[in-house]
Homo-oligomer: A and B are copies of this chain.
């Protein structure tokens, strides 16, 4: 804030919206939730979900609300954080729109089209959506927002415990490895990964049960531990 006085008759109107980069893992790929625009501008193109912030609504509250409206997700088992704010004067041709983008990590949603609002909801591989060109290009500056979100996700997995946000409440080490491999788009040695995850204090805790989903020897079922930061970090090759 500044000490300048505010005069509404001079000060021009800004619209403030939240846009969401909702990431999830599907088929061993990092996927992003997109909606198809029904109106101009960019009618027919895919866009990040989002909407206006209410006058008495916190930014984070608005982001959670949009997420629920768009996906039907309401549970507490997800991660949502502010990503960055995009405010180029002409990013929306209709008026001056400042978008506070948020980044969400969610566990596999059972057919997200079940969401209330938008019929045109889809899940697309993130790297694919980033490469769309021509009239398939993402609306507005959403390709840039998505790129920033993907890069943030990649680095967050290194030094935070947020990989668990992509997983159901109970999971195996192998399933967590699949998350890292999908987000980083690399292969990871299963044996060393196993050791690092189990040795990292507070990352995961055993439930005592096992599962054989996925075949092979039964794997321990784990749940997320209390730690928020990963020390030492898991580094990508």
Contacts and interface: CB of A to CB of B under 8 A. Distances in A.
Q: Is the interface of A mostly helix, strand, loop or mixed?
A: loop
B97 A85 contact: no
Interface string A85-114: 101110010111111100000000000000
Given A13-B8, A15-B14, A37 B87 contact: no
A58 B87 contact: yes
A37 B94 contact: no
Given A5-B39, A13-B13, A16-B16, A84 B82 contact: yes
A6 B139 CA distance: 17
B13 A88 contact: no
A87 B13 contact: no
Interface stretch (A23-31, A42-50, A168-176): A42-50
A147 to B, nearest CB: 15
Interface of A: 1-6, 8, 11-17, 19, 35, 37-39, 47-53, 55-59, 66, 82, 84-85, 87-89, 92, 94-100, 118, 139-140, 142
12 contacts: A1-B97, A6-B15, A11-B52, A14-B15, A16-B16, A16-B87, A57-B89, A58-B88, A59-B98, A82-B84, A85-B100, A98-B98
